[in-house]
Amino acid sequence: MVAIIQDVSEMQRAAESLRTAGKRIGIVPTMGYLHEGHLSLIRTAKHHADVVVTTIFVNPKQFGPAEDYERYPRDLSNDSLLASSAGTDYIFAPESKSMYPNEYLTDVHIERYSSILEGRSRPGHFQGVATVVTKLLNITKPHVAVFGQKDAQQAVVIRQMLRDLNYDIELVIAPTVREADGLALSSRNSYLSTEERKQAPVLFQSLNLAEQRVREGVRVSVRIINEMSEFITNRSAGVIDYISIADSNTLEELSAIEGQRSVLISLAVRFGATRLIDNQIVKV
Ligand code: AMP
């Protein structure tokens, strides 16, 4: 059975005894309201570790003031069942005030990556992510951490942070899990109306269209971006926040796809108040 820990020191003690017993610890950080995407990360972690800790924490620091922190869906009891069925041994689900007590003053900031793409639309987001991930790593003491390709920029930010701060932790990025119609699973999909849900696969479809154009030899990014944009606006009520074609390692936006081995095509689209993101890596 899964052990649910809410207390920071208790989690640290549990992690320390696991380490002393020679166990390899894997962490899967999440904000809960778990779906099959999260569960695939837990299964992946199980392959890379003896003991899996799934963290469930809706981190206030990574939400902007006008964002959905308050209404973000939460269901710890169902999450525990799902996480346990996928092989989680420990759930760490702290309360906000134990992670950020009144006297809390420290933030982790990653230059450059924090202010582009998602960071441009969501100021402070990656600082919040880097800060909470740092804390979760210090609390759960993992040997391996598993994140999803669904949040492509987050994966790049975490990789940079682990390297810069000399974390001795293996990073595993697991592929995006999708619904049958291509929509990437997300806790935020629960916000969509029936009509919006019908239209939401345009993100994935536009990524496929972009991939096809790259394969056909189109190299001018703006041509591909314009076509994706038209595709989305013609087929849905989605409002495009951004569409980007960037180097997948440096996230540098590319006006032309030349000499890159791997490009990251990513986008954010709003359906009413719901903001969806998706991405695809295309090997050139
Ligand atoms: P979240 O709970 O949305 O913060 O996500 C927690 C982790 O699950 C992050 O590493 C995400 O990238 C990953 N994740 C979210 N959605 C998916 C998905 N559809 N497929 C695979 N991983 C996902």
Q: What is the pLDDT of residues 130-143, one digit of tens each?
A: 999 999 999 999 99
Domain boundary among 147, 174, 201: 174
pLDDT of residue 1: 81
Domain boundary among 174, 195, 210: 174
181, part of any domain? no
Query: Which range, of 72-81, 114-123, 252-261, averages the lowest pLDDT?
Result: 252-261
191, part of any domain? yes
Query: Which range, of 149-153, 176-180, 249-253, averages the lowest pLDDT?
Result: 249-253
Pair 44, 166 in one domain? yes
Pocket of ligand 1 contains residue 188 by CB under 6 Å: no
Residue 78 pLDDT level (bands cut at 50, 70, 90)? very high
pLDDT of residue 38: 98
Residue 259 pLDDT level (bands cut at 50, 70, 90)? confident
Cα–Cα–Cα angle for 101, 136, 90, nearest 5°? 110
Pair 12, 124 in one domain? yes
Pocket of ligand 1 contains residue 31 by CB under 6 Å: yes
182, part of any domain? no
Pair 244, 216 in one domain? yes
Which pairing describes strands 239-247 and 170-174: parallel, antiparallel, or unpaired? unpaired
Position in ligand 1 atom list of the atom nearest CA 41: 22
Pair 167, 51 in one domain? yes
End-to-end CA distance of the chain: 45
Q: Which domain holds residue 208?
A: 187-283
CB 152 within 8 A of CB 178: no
Angle, in degrees to the nearest 10, between helices 152-164 and 125-140: 60
Reduced 3-state DSSP string for the chain: CCEEECCHHHHHHHHHHHHHCCCCEEEEEECCCCCHHHHHHHHHHHHHCCEEEEEECCCHHHCCCCCCCCCCCCCHHHHHHHHHHCCCCEEECCCHHHHCCCCCCCCCCCCCHHHCCHHHHCCCHHHHHHHHHHHHHHHHCCCEEEEEHHHHHHHHHHHHHHHHCCCCCEEEEECCCECCCCCECCHHHHHCCHHHHHHCCHHHHHHHHHHHHHHCCCCEHHHHHHHHHHHHHHHCCCEEEEEEEEECCCCCECCECCCCCEEEEEEEEEECCEEEEEEEEEEC
Pair 245, 120 in one domain? no
Residue 270 pLDDT level (bands cut at 50, 70, 90)? very high
- Rounded-to-integer distance, Cα 212 and Cα 282, Å: 10
Pair 152, 202 in one domain? no
CB 157 within 8 A of CB 117: no
Pair 191, 167 in one domain? no
68, part of any domain? yes
Residue 208 pLDDT level (bands cut at 50, 70, 90)? very high
* CA 156 to ligand 1 centroid distance, Å: 14
How many structural domains is the chain composed of?
2
Residue 228 has pLDDT above 80, yes or no: yes
Pair 66, 169 in one domain? yes
Strands of 262-271's sheet, edge to edge?
239-247, 262-271, 274-283
- pLDDT above 90 as % of the chain: 97
Residue 229 has pLDDT above 80, yes or no: yes
* CA 153 to ligand 1 centroid distance, Å: 12
194, part of any domain? yes
Angle, in degrees to the nearest 10, between helices 202-215 and 221-235: 150
Question: What does the pLDDT average to over 260-274?
Answer: 94
Return the closest-CA partner of residue 239 out of 202, 185, 195: 202
Residue 260 has pLDDT above 80, yes or no: no
pLDDT of residue 12: 98
User: Is residue 125 annotated as a catalytic residue, yes or no?
Assistant: no
pLDDT of residue 213: 97
Q: Name the average pLDDT for the chain.
A: 97
* CA 175 to ligand 1 centroid distance, Å: 9
Pocket of ligand 1 contains residue 150 by CB under 6 Å: yes
| Residue 134 belongs to domain with CATH number | 3.40.50.620
Question: What does the pLDDT average to over 84-88?
Answer: 98
| Residue 264 belongs to domain with CATH number | 3.30.1300.10
* Among 35, 38, 47, 109, the one annotated catalytic: 38
Residue 66 has pLDDT above 90, yes or no: yes
Pair 126, 241 in one domain? no
Pair 131, 244 in one domain? no
- Rounded-to-integer distance, Cα 254 and Cα 50, Å: 41
Domain boundary among 174, 206, 238: 174
Q: Could you report the per-residue pLDDT of 155-174, keeping only the tens digit for each?
A: 999 999 999 999 999 999 99
Query: 280 CB contacts (<8 Å, ≥6 apart)?
Result: 207, 208, 210, 211, 264, 265, 266
Residue 261 has pLDDT above 90, yes or no: no
Pair 24, 145 in one domain? yes
Question: What does the pLDDT average to over 191-209?
Answer: 98
CB 114 within 8 A of CB 157: yes
Residue 71 pLDDT level (bands cut at 50, 70, 90)? very high
Question: Full-prediction pTM beyond 0.75?
Answer: yes
Pair 125, 17 in one domain? yes
Residue 28 pLDDT level (bands cut at 50, 70, 90)? very high
Residue 9 has pLDDT above 90, yes or no: yes
179, part of any domain? no
Position in ligand 1 atom list of the atom nearest CA 187: 3
